[in-house]
Amino acid sequence: MMAGKGGLTKLDVGVLSAEQQEKLREFKIKTRIDNERYLRSHPEVEILIGNFLRDVLLERPTDIQEFAAEHFTNPNLQVVISSKMDRKIGTE
């Protein structure tokens, strides 16, 4: 990888051997499959993220980090997500 002003910015594939490139490709595929399996076994993640993004777009907070901290530490968050999970399961 090539270092830029902000750190690592660009993958320089030319510095990897063919074997390293193949291992990297296999690693990426395995990681994507593992991530997909995880997300399918935890549908609440989609609801958590979707709920957060909806609230961000509706409220358009000026301090997104503070908004996110408040959103994800809301003591009622589990109840809200559980309710949405129940509704989602009921519509399937």
Q: Which token pair is 49?
A: 């993220």
pLDDT at position 48: 92
Domain assignment of residue 1, yes or no? no
Domain assignment of residue 63, yes or no? yes
Domain assignment of residue 6, yes or no? no
> Which strand (E) or helix (H) includes residue 67?
helix 64-72
Tally of domains in the chain: 1
Domain assignment of residue 70, yes or no? yes
pTM over cut 0.75: no
> Which strand (E) or helix (H) includes residue 10?
strand 7-10
Q: pLDDT of 26-77, one tens digit each?
A: 999 999 999 999 999 998 899 999 999 999 999 999 999 999 999 999 999 9
Domain assignment of residue 20, yes or no? yes
Show the domain range for 67: 15-92
